[in-house]
């Protein structure tokens, strides 16, 4: 867990009274966060970055509450610590590059003219970082709960 910063740019490609579709680019950076494990050779901390183009399908786009679904895929970067939990030097590579599939959903709440609020959940499903354990041999879900402001430019 930790605090992430994210930015999202969407370009609307169609809109009807019931549906709106947008191409989007989502960027998320999650700073250094500590890892807990009984295995002392595990990487001590980890930072992540995701850059994922995708498609957003919004339902009832002109309503007071506009839910949406989003999916896409792109790039995941994991930055491992220089140290293991034991304090020894980390033998894992400093940077691990992976592909990621992103999907999720949320809701937009228009407030005033071009300003609104957004709440969402996204899952970045990617290859694992280099944890220095057998757990890093597969893929992992990276679920992010987010919220913020929406600025609409027409």
pLDDT digits (tens, 9 = 90+) for 11-63: 999 999 999 999 999 999 998 888 888 888 888 888 999 999 999 999 999 89
What is the Cα–Cα distance from 15 to 12, expressed in whole angstroms?
7
Compute the residue count for the chain. 154
Tokens of 122: 């996204």
Domains in the chain with CATH codes: 4-151 (2.40.160)
For residue 70, name the pLDDT band (cuts at 50, 70, 90): very high
Asked whether the predicted pLDDT for residue 85 surpasses 90, the reply is no
What is the Cα–Cα distance from 99 to 137, expressed in whole angstroms?
15
Report the range of poorest mean pLDDT among 69-83, 109-123, 130-144.
130-144
For residue 137, name the pLDDT band (cuts at 50, 70, 90): low
pLDDT digits (tens, 9 = 90+) for 105-135: 999 999 988 899 999 999 999 988 887 776 6
Contact of 114 with 150, CB cutoff 8 Å: no
Contact of 41 with 132, CB cutoff 8 Å: yes
Task: Please state the pTM of the whole predicted model.
Answer: 0.88
């Amino acid at each position: 867990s930790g605090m992430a910063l994210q930015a999202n740019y969407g370009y609307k490609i169609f809109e009807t009274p019931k549906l709106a579709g947008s191409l989007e680019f989502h960027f998320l950076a999650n700073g250094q966060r500590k890892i807990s494990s009984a295995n002392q050779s595990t990487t001590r901390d980890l930072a992540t970055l995701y850059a994922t183009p995708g498609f957003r399908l919004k339902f009832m786009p002109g309503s007071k509450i506009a839910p949406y679904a989003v999916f896409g895929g792109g790039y995941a970067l994991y930055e491992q610590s220089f140290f293991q939990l034991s304090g020894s030097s980390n033998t894992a590579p400093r940077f691990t590059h992976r592909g990621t599939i992103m999907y999720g959903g949320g809701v937009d709440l228009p407030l005033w003219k071009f300003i609104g609020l957004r709440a969402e959940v996204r899952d970045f499903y990617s290859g694992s970082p280099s944890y220095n354990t057998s757990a890093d041999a597969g893929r992992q879900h990276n679920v992010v709960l987010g919220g913020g402001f929406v600025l609409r430019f027409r």
